[in-house]
Amino acid sequence: MNGILAKKLGMTRIFTEDGDSVPVTVLEAGPCTIVLHRTKEKDGYAAVQVAFGEQKIQRTTKAYAMQFKHLVPELEKESSKKPGSEKKVHSPWESPKGVTVPRYICEFDAEDVSAWPVGKTYNASEIFKISEQIKVSGISKGHGFSGGIKRHGFHSGPRSHGSHNIREPGSLSAHTYPGRVFPGKRAPGQFGNKNVTIKNIQIEKIDAERNLIFVRGSVPGPKNGIIVVRKG
């Protein structure tokens, strides 16, 4: 197994033995549950599907919930009902009350899939070590449609002598030739809300009792955002 799903709790700082202050991000990594195996014979590649978090079954669809019927006994009873035995009612799926199913799913590479049986639960302390280099991925904070100053750090124009070009992007340097704006030109547009991966982040501390890992520096995404942690 080369990764785990985690939830970003926020940032703090820890002190080293030399007394240095190190800014860290606290991630609640796990516990995660193995829900499915991907094999080369059936899927063309070998991987392990991992689930993290819980949600009420009423907030899901029947198609989503039934893929976990081998882990949730209440869903096994639901799937064992004979079709046509109940009355045909044109209403939403009446899910069993008080049942929870996994909320987030991700796949990770595994050298030996048999070592990670379906239903097994693991946490970060089983696959990561202190001072190990990892890479984290998450959805960055969305800022909506933003101008060039906020999005790219452009300088503003003069604010005196009757200038009307204060926060506008200015000239795009597109004359008669080529007569168009080349793709990739830095300009106003959607800022944030993209999948960002940061490599070579060091693990400073692991709290196995509370399933917490402390990584040096910042991590993309807001608080309570889902982070994918993989070995570097």
- Cα angle vertex 226, ends 221, 230, to 5°? 100
The whole-number pLDDT of residue 81 equals 62
Average pLDDT over residues 159-185: 87
The whole-number pLDDT of residue 6 equals 94
Average pLDDT over residues 221-227: 94
Average pLDDT over residues 220-231: 94
Superfamily in which the 3-143+189-231 domain is placed by CATH: Translation factors (2.40.30.10)
* Portion of the chain with pLDDT greater than 70, in percent: 93
Using the Cα atoms of residue 91, residue 97, residue 99 and residue 102 in order, give the sign of their dihedral. Answer: positive
Helix (H) and strand (E) counts for the chain?
A: 3, 12
Average pLDDT over residues 23-49: 90
Average pLDDT over residues 207-224: 93
Q: In which band, very low, low, confident or very high, does the pLDDT at 92 lie, cut at 50, 70 and 90?
A: low
Residue with tokens 């976990």: 68
Does the predicted TM-score (pTM) go above 0.85? Answer: no
Q: In which band, very low, low, confident or very high, does the pLDDT at 173 lie, cut at 50, 70 and 90?
A: confident
The whole-number pLDDT of residue 136 equals 95
Q: Cα(120)–Cα(105) distance, rounded to whole angstroms?
A: 15
Residue 86 has pLDDT above 60, yes or no: no
The whole-number pLDDT of residue 214 equals 95
Q: What is the pLDDT of residues 115-136, one digit of tens each?
A: 889 989 999 888 999 999 999 9
Q: Which of 57-71, 74-88, 156-170, 196-210 has the lowest mean pLDDT?
A: 74-88
Average pLDDT over residues 146-173: 90
Residue 160 has pLDDT above 60, yes or no: yes
Q: Give 111 or 126, the one with higher predicted confidence.
A: 126
Residue 149 has pLDDT above 60, yes or no: yes
Q: Give 111 or 148, the one with higher predicted confidence.
A: 148
Q: So where are the chain's domains? A: 3-143+189-231, 144-188
- Using CA atoms, how far residue 62 sits from 70, 74, 93, 94, 165, in Å, is 14, 13, 7, 9, 55
Q: Among 25, 18, 9, which residue's Cα sits nearest to residue 204?
A: 25
Residue 106 has pLDDT above 80, yes or no: yes
The whole-number pLDDT of residue 69 equals 86
